[in-house]
Structure 1
């Protein structure tokens, strides 16, 4: 078994690049996952693993070897190397180097007759994207579509804030126009969360295939969504502010759609 003890090792230096730079992840087709739960979820999602690094004081070789039966390189690392690479303090001594997946719209498949889809346009903060993915997982939506992304989905902050839900959701990326065309081709109604020309969200019917579309708190959704929506919707504010966190807003509407569907059944 290979062992790396120096942070000056070229392989380790390259992993730090993967951790820090989106262009390196895209160029090399690799990204890093930390933690047992996140790695387990990636395994369930059929991600292809390149190698596993472990720090023996926190996890044993046998634990890892039992989980990976295929040709995955397992590398023992020193405490110094582990602390240099680990993005969080509580990753249980295991870091995986994994091959990225293609987030093309063409890869989305639906197994239900009345789909419920979450669309997020132009979300910049990794924490918000992670929270949206957690909401999508909690509601068991059919797909999450990211329009005009401002952040690489394999950003370690997104993986961390999503608590691994980047691996539990069916995800695709595209421009707003591409995603609108995809939704229309699949006969999915579009409910765009915006103040302009909108109805209160709870007055709409989400029993048919529906896409809930949310944008940034700062600028909201672009005009193309408002023009192509089946219906624009809003969440009435009862306090002094006129907006809320995007993941909270998405959760309110998505679970209203779930409530309607469960009530009908």
Structure 2
């Protein structure tokens, strides 16, 4: 088994670049995952693990073998190297290099009568992670990011989603392409926006539905508001007129889920 003990090792330096630079992730078609749960969720989601690195001072080889498959390279690294690569203070001594998946709209496989979350141009990894966790909790059919501002394989997104990036079908595309895709699939669009809106709970989400949310700062672009079957709003009774995007999305999603209960 290969062993690496120096943080100056060229391979370790390349992994640091993989963490920090979206360009490197795109060029290599790979990304880094940290933590047992996240790695196992990635495997369950159909991601191929190329290499697993582990620190024997934190996790045993037998535990690593339970996670990996026969075609996965296993590398033993020193605790110093692991701490250089790891983002989290409390962690489990294991990282993996995984192969990226296509995030094309055309690759989405939707069941009949889907419920989809669309987020336009979310920027903060924490918000994206929270949206993905909500999507997982509601067992949504897909999450679509329109006009993405962040690389979804950013380690901050993987960490904030606690691996939920891997648990739901996900795709990205321009706003125009996403709208065209939804219309082609016969999916009704409901946009959370202040303009020309009605209370969210008055609408019927039992058919094929896409719930669309924008950023707290700028909301949704006009293209979405125009394409919407109905713009919807969550009534606000306090002094402010908006809430965190992941909280708003959760309210809308679970109303749709409630309506779909048998």
Q: TM-score w.r.t. structure 2 length? A: 0.99
The 3-state SS of whatever aligns with 1:244 is coil
Instruction: Give CA deviations for 1:5-52 in whole Å, capped at 9, x if unaligned.
Output: 000000000000001111111111111001010001011011111101
Q: Tell me the residue number matched to 1:81.
A: 81
Residue of structure 2 equivalent to 1:27: 27
Which residue in 1 is equivalent to 2:91? Answer: 91
Offset at 1:70?
2.0
Displacement after TM superposition at 1:118 (Å): 0.1
SS at match of 2:260: helix
Q: Does 1:169 align with 2:168?
A: yes
Q: Which stretches of structure 1, 4 residues or more, deviate above 3 A after TM superposition? A: none
2: distance between equivalents of 1:51 and 1:90? 22
Unaligned runs of 5+ in 2: none
Q: What is the number of residues matched between the two proteins?
A: 262
CA shift, 1:66, in A, is 2.8
Match in the other structure for 2:40: 40
Structure 1 residue runs without a partner (length 5+): none
Query: CA separation in 1, counterparts of 2:75 and 2:228?
Result: 51
Q: Does 1:235 align with 2:261?
A: no
SS of residue in 2 equivalent to 1:216: coil
Superposition pairs of residues 1-265 of structure 1, within 5 angstroms: 1-111=1-111, 113-262=112-261, 265=262
Q: Quote how far apart the aligned CAs of 1:208 are.
A: 0.7
Deviations along 1:147-174, one digit per CA (max 9) or x if unpaired, are 0001000111100110100000100000
Query: Alpha-carbon deviations, 1:184-226, whole Å to 9, x = none?
Result: 1111000000000000100111111110000000000000000
Structure-2 separation of matches of 1:33 and 1:75: 15
Deviation at 1:58, TM superposition (A): 1.0
Report how far residue 237 of structure 1 moved.
0.6
**TM-score, length basis structure 1:** 0.98
Aligned-residue CA RMSD in angstroms?
0.7
Q: CA deviation at 1:90?
A: 2.1
Shift of 1:110: 1.3
